[in-house]
Amino acid sequence: MAASQDNQPPAGTASALDYDAIIIGAGMSGLYQLYRLRELGLRVRVLETGTGVGGTWYWNRYPGARFDSESYSYGYSFSQELLDEWDWTEHFSPQPETLRYLNHVADKFDLRRDIQFKSRVTSAHYQEATRAWDVTLEDGSRYRCRFLITAIGLLSAPTMPRMAGVDTFKGQSFHTARWPHEPVRFEGKRVAVIGTGATGVQTIQEVAKTAGHLTIFQRTPNWCAPLHNGKIDAREMAKIRADYPDIFKRCQETFACFLHTPDPRGTFEVTPEEREAVFERLYADRGFGIWQGNFRDILVDRKANAVISDFVARKIRQRVKDPVVAEKLIPKNHGFGTRRVPLETRYYEVYNQPNVTLVDINETPIERVTPDGIKTSDAEHAFDIIIYATGFDAITGAYDRIDLRGIDGQRLKDAWKDGPQTYLGVLVEGFPNMMMLMGPHTALGNIPRSIEYNVEWVTGLVRHARDNNLTRLEATPQGVASWTDHVRALGMGLLSNEVDSWMTGINKNVEGKQVRTVARYSGSAPAYRARCDEAAAGGYPELRLG
């Protein structure tokens, strides 16, 4: 930086910095952060495990992978040129198109020259003497930087089920988030999919089209709703382009940065007929409307939630011919919208196909994976391919996989053993000069909108450090306590916080993630931004700056 030349470490502690900032991860967050820090004139390096850019859209190549956010609400908004030149071809872009988009962004802004691929960060240790982070890669190479920016993803650490025999299987097996770059063919094959979350649903509806036989192992059914995807032709894209200012303005105003705005009415403020008509309209509408654009009380009022849950259950019963199978697909342990709603395209109809079988592993648990397939308590199923759609160690998982240590060698994992503690979801006391993008306790929702905000806030803080010759930024204990308490308080009364899910920090496949924590900020995105703006405008009063 300018800061690296002007802001020398305290006397007697000099040790050259390799970079002013290291960003870990080259997904949407890391790419944009690189772009912004370069504008400040910093020497920046991005370290990325994969062989290409794109993060989520680089790794998740499974069949059927696509957005649940409208494509035009998901892309970056910061560059008019980019908006002008990029055409989305579907309302919900499929993964290959999104990956092309992110590669286009990397090329357009010449980002690759500062990105180092095949570079998994295994440890990052803060050294008080140098006010710098020492970062080590898997291959042993080491770098020193002033600022460490984690752009490591909230859904980027895949988890395998805790099952015996996984390694003994003789056929092909894949985790959806580690899908091979070569196509996988299912014709005539006996295929198993384990898991029915958002990824499982997308995979199942695609694989069912060609598999010889598809067996789905389900532990927890989810409330799915129709995606209603469609192609975007040149005329419609021109209209979307003209609407971009409105689209992004709306995303800034809504609770979770989606295009959908909640109905200001309560569920019981309308007649049963009106209510049914609203639900029907939302069920027929594109995207997350039924979740994010529904009556304002469906996610906080048990009775309201029961009404929408009953509506969706009726839809499932109508769409699935076998009533026994339909009942298995209807969630009984949580209400509609209290876990992430998978969006689907003829998902429920898959269960009417003769080449598809549903196995409820609550009734007949999986005992082990065998060389030939999967053994449950009542049968041995033979497979050629097993697909693990078993999700992620969400939000904190990617942090746990790095040996991150702050002042006096304190491990982040230990500091967070009872749940994350953060200041604005960006900084952690005891871990100076580390800033998290999309870390715990930040607003999520339609994530790129939150990413752009998060990156701009972090960039503002780094600019502040540069302009004021600061070499050390740390959250105060009061700042962390008050933000963490605020985040916990916001979660009170939300039905989603009474349910086990990745949003409440639960992952049955991960040691130590069996107790609910508050890992995400559940207030509105505008309220989150207001708090962060206020902190910046006030000169960061809850940070120790030096």
Ligand X SMILES: Cc1cc2nc3c(=O)[nH]c(=O)nc-3n(C[C@H](O)[C@H](O)[C@H](O)COP(=O)(O)OP(=O)(O)OC[C@H]3O[C@@H](n4cnc5c(N)ncnc54)[C@H](O)[C@@H]3O)c2cc1C
What are the counts of helices (DSSP H) followed by strands (DSSP E) for the chain? 18, 20
Please identify, using beta-carbon distances, which residue of 313 and 519 lies nearer to ligand X.
519
Please identify, using beta-carbon distances, which residue of 17 and 99 lies nearer to ligand X.
99
Produce one character per residue of 378-410: b if its CB has 16 or more CB atoms within 10 Å, e if not: eeebebbbbbbbbbbbbbbbbbbbbebbbeeeb
Measuring CA to CA, which residue among 416, 434, 437, 414 is closest to residue 519? Answer: 416
Q: How far is the CB of 107 from ligand X (least distance, A)?
A: 17
Q: How far is the CB of 112 from ligand X (least distance, A)?
A: 14
Please identify, using beta-carbon distances, which residue of 267 and 450 lies nearer to ligand X.
450
Q: How far is the CB of 120 from ligand X (least distance, A)?
A: 4
Please identify, using beta-carbon distances, which residue of 122 and 364 lies nearer to ligand X.
122
Please identify, using beta-carbon distances, which residue of 26 and 356 lies nearer to ligand X.
26
Q: How far is the CB of 450 from ligand X (least distance, A)?
A: 8
Please identify, using beta-carbon distances, which residue of 139 and 273 lies nearer to ligand X.
139
> 185: number of CA atoms within 13 Å, CB side?
2
CB-CB contact of 477 with 485 (8 Å)? no
Q: How far is the CB of 64 from ligand X (least distance, A)?
A: 10
Residue type, 284: A
Q: How far is the CB of 88 from ligand X (least distance, A)?
A: 13
Task: Mark out the alpha helices in 63-209 (DSSP H runs).
Answer: 71-74, 80-85, 95-108, 198-207
Please identify, using beta-carbon distances, which residue of 196 and 471 lies nearer to ligand X.
196
Q: How far is the CB of 68 from ligand X (least distance, A)?
A: 4
Cα distances from 456 to residues 302, 326, 396, 424, in angstroms, run 38, 47, 22, 14
Measuring CA to CA, which residue among 362, 425, 368 is closest to residue 399? Answer: 425
Q: How far is the CB of 82 from ligand X (least distance, A)?
A: 17
Please identify, using beta-carbon distances, which residue of 9 and 153 lies nearer to ligand X.
153
As given in the structure block, the two tokens for residue 284 are: 């027929």
- CA-atom Rg of the chain in angstroms: 24
Beta pairing class for 385-388 and 190-194: parallel
Measuring CA to CA, which residue among 183, 223, 176, 178 is closest to residue 202? Answer: 176
Binding site for ligand X (CB under 6 A): 24-30, 47-50, 55-56, 58, 60, 65, 67-69, 74, 120-121, 151-153, 155-156, 199, 398, 402, 437-438, 446-447, 451
CB-CB contact of 419 with 470 (8 Å)? no
